[in-house]
Amino acid sequence: MIENDFKRGQVDTTLFRRTLEKDILVVQIYVDDIIFGSTNASLCKEISKLMHDEFKMSMMGELKFFLGIQINQCKDVVYVHQTKYAEELLKKFKLEACKVMNTPMHPTCTLSKEDT
């Protein structure tokens, strides 16, 4: 990745980014899983070709699930949740019939950098 002008993340060293003018390409590598995204579709095609030339791999399409986290992508928003993981925990501990509790944060609340 470094040989292809990517910068390694300082906090997460498995995260790589490359900036080209106004566009950014981000690549996250975890063992044998790689996810990537960009503000420019042609950059995604470029990284896909680069990876295929270097490694035997298959494209799984749009990101839906990664490391136990579910991702739902809509036109203007991305939802990240762990519904499947929570359901598996309830099943594991035989708590499927437990009393449902509300989420402590309102579901329409939007977090931003200014909230930190």
Nearest Cα residue to 6 out of 60, 30, 53, 29: 29
Higher pLDDT, residue 99 or 93: 93
Q: Is residue 113 part of a domain?
A: no
> Which tokens sit at 84?
């499947």
Residues 16 and 37 occupy one common structural domain: yes
**Same domain membership, residue 97 and residue 47:** no
Would the pLDDT of 112 be above 70? Answer: yes
Res 30: pLDDT? 86
Range of the domain at 7: 1-60
What is residue 50's predicted lDDT score, i.e. its pLDDT?
A: 85
In a domain, 111, yes or no: no
Q: Are 36 and 16 in contact (CB under 8 A)?
A: no
23 and 37 within one domain: yes
Model confidence pLDDT, tens digit, residues 50-98: 888 888 888 888 888 888 889 998 887 888 899 999 899 999 999 999 8
**pTM for the predicted model, two decimal places:** 0.63
Regarding whether 46 and 17 lie in a shared domain, the answer is yes
Residues in a beta bridge with 38:
25
